[in-house]
């Protein structure tokens, strides 16, 4: 019976931790959105003034605008079409599609695990 008490306390802690995680995710999303907005404001200012940076002597910070190459994630459909186009250069369509499907299945590794689902009563 003593294990029942520890399981009940574990359940209570699990629920409270999940609630806290949700609250923190929401506040983090708000902060991330605000950072993006402020970056846009500063970038627009630097573009208008034709400056490469700005500094604040009082706070001891400087912000410099740099060009950065960013890899943007493609949609699955675009990845598939691009991959098939490359394969089409070397073989016919049916064979290319078959090889692409085999490559996709080879890169996936399925495992089974138990997941706890919390249901409000």
Reported as a single tens digit per residue, the pLDDT across 69-85 is: 988 899 989 988 998 88
Task: Tell me the pLDDT tens digit for each residue of 9-34.
Answer: 999 999 999 999 999 999 999 999 99
Q: Which of 111, 110, 89 is nearest to 100 (CA)?
A: 89
pTM higher than the cut 0.85: no
Handedness of CA 101, 104, 109, 110 (dihedral sign): negative
> How many Å apart are CA 47 and CA 2, to the nearest integer?
67
Ordered by start, the domain boundaries in the chain are 1-69, 71-106
């Amino acid at each position: 019976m003593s294990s029942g008490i520890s399981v009940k306390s574990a359940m209570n802690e699990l629920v409270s931790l999940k609630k806290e995680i949700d609250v923190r995710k929401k506040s983090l999303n708000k902060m991330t959105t605000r950072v993006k907005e402020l970056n846009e404001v500063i970038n627009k200012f630097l573009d208008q003034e034709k400056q490469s940076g700005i500094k604040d002597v009082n706070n001891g910070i400087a912000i410099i605008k740099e060009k950065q190459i960013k890899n943007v994630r493609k949609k699955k459909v675009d990845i598939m079409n691009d991959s098939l186009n490359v394969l089409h250069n070397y073989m016919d369509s049916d064979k290319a599609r078959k090889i692409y499907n085999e490559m996709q299945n080879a890169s996936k590794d399925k495992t089974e695990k138990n997941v706890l689902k919390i249901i409000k009563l």
